[in-house]
Amino acid sequence: MTNLTTLHISEKERIDFLNSLELLDTLPEDEFDMLTQMASKYLNAPVSLFSLVDGTRQWFKSRVGMDACETPRDISFCAHAIKQPELYVVENADKDPLFANNPLVTAKEKAIKFYTGVPIIIEGKYTIGTLCIIDYKPRVLTDEEKELLKNLGKQIEKLIELRLLNNKAIAQRKELQEQHERLKEFAGVISHDMKMPLANLIITSDILKKKYSAILDNDGINYLDYLKTSSLTLSDYISNILKYYESDGLAKESKTTFDIFELLEEIIEILHVNEQSGIHLPDQNLILHTNKPALEQVLLNLFTNALKYNDKESAEIKVDCYEDTNFYHFSVEDNGKGIAPEKLHLIFNLYETLDIIDKKGNKGHGIGLSMVKKICESLGGTIKVSSKVGKGTRFDFSIAKEQILD
């Protein structure tokens, strides 16, 4: 049956769509050549063509047994085939009134006597050309041969539609990347512009409290404390947003060689871990060749959370690591509050806070663990969490190893 949608497509629309595919006047491609070769071989045809019909010509994206890469549209068999719903068959061109005087039929050498073409219809409505076979003697195809040619034509349609989907995905990925870069730039500008006013608020609240504490009542003092706490919270929130977007660049840092003990000792020094906390290093040192700043950021976030949300008298963090052929594997386990089972699947979501309160009574911002997950995945690895309420939480993550050639 004729696809009714194709009847409503104007010639201009058809040609505009054909041009948008960027197939015309391009180099041969194995995927299409394989199908024309199959058509020629299994249908015993000296010529097989994947033809694209534009306004003035038919151009051959793939051809077998044909030297010319195009012919004028006004003498083209395919120009008639694209107007048909399925197969267009000319069994004996000499006896066909439409083609008997065609120069391709009356030629002294390699005169076309037989033609069968199946229209190539994309998205169910745009007929861009044909897959056709040609012979230099009259022929009659069997039903099985006709079905084979139609099936090969459908394969060409699928190849083109897959290309369209791929191009669309690439365009969407590019657009998302551009949006991400704009958002990243916006976050940087906002962070910079808001940091100074917030710092002024924090300093001013301290000055007011010190200078006027004698004449302020308890409510006044509390308001100033609340103003400072809120400003510090917002400042910390903005810093975390900026870190999240900067983590993209962090994951692109070059690889270096270092040992895990060295890295962990640097992190312990940064965190100023007190006597009421203990970080237990792995039993054995491990030499790594990977992105040190990115791994440091992951461990720093996990250690900070383990200390910040710990409700025990002595916070304990146990670190372990090992390697296999393709990955470095790490675990960070604490003895803190733990996470309820129904909330575990939310823990890596951006801005998901889980209503967990730290030692100072503050809620998190839901950014740190999302950033950790993003860094791990950008380094070719994964991260997962397990936890028991009241007992503690364990994070297991991996990063892909750098393959060093001897």
Instruction: Report if residue 355 sits inside a domain.
Output: yes
What is the model's pLDDT at position 150?
A: 96
**Do residues 235 and 366 both lie within one domain?**
no
Domain boundary, last residue among 250, 266, 294: 250
What is the model's pLDDT at position 344?
A: 85
DSSP character for 84? S
**Do residues 288 and 179 both lie within one domain?**
no
**Do residues 377 and 230 both lie within one domain?**
no
Residue 204 belongs to what domain range?
A: 169-250
Domains identified in the chain, total number = 3
The list of the chain residues with pLDDT below 50 reads 1-2, 4, 403-406
Instruction: Report if residue 162 sits inside a domain.
Output: no
Instruction: Report if residue 147 sits inside a domain.
Output: no
Which residue is it, tokens 């025990």?
A: 312
Residue 215, SS3?
coil
Strands (E), 124-171: 126-135
**Do residues 239 and 265 both lie within one domain?**
no
What is the model's pLDDT at position 24?
A: 95
**Do residues 275 and 331 both lie within one domain?**
yes
**Do residues 400 and 305 both lie within one domain?**
yes
CATH of the domain at 115: 3.30.450.40
**Do residues 345 and 383 both lie within one domain?**
yes
What is the model's pLDDT at position 352?
A: 62
**Do residues 289 and 362 both lie within one domain?**
yes
Q: Which two tokens stand for residue 402?
A: 């750098």
Which residue is it, tokens 């976050």?
A: 187
Instruction: Report if residue 164 sits inside a domain.
Output: no
Instruction: Report if residue 257 sits inside a domain.
Output: yes
Count of CB atoms situated within 10 Å of the CB of 158? 11
**Do residues 306 and 273 both lie within one domain?**
yes
Instruction: Please choose, from the candidates 7, 3, 14, the residue with its C-alpha nearest in 3D space to the C-alpha of residue 128.
Output: 14
Instruction: Report if residue 236 sits inside a domain.
Output: yes
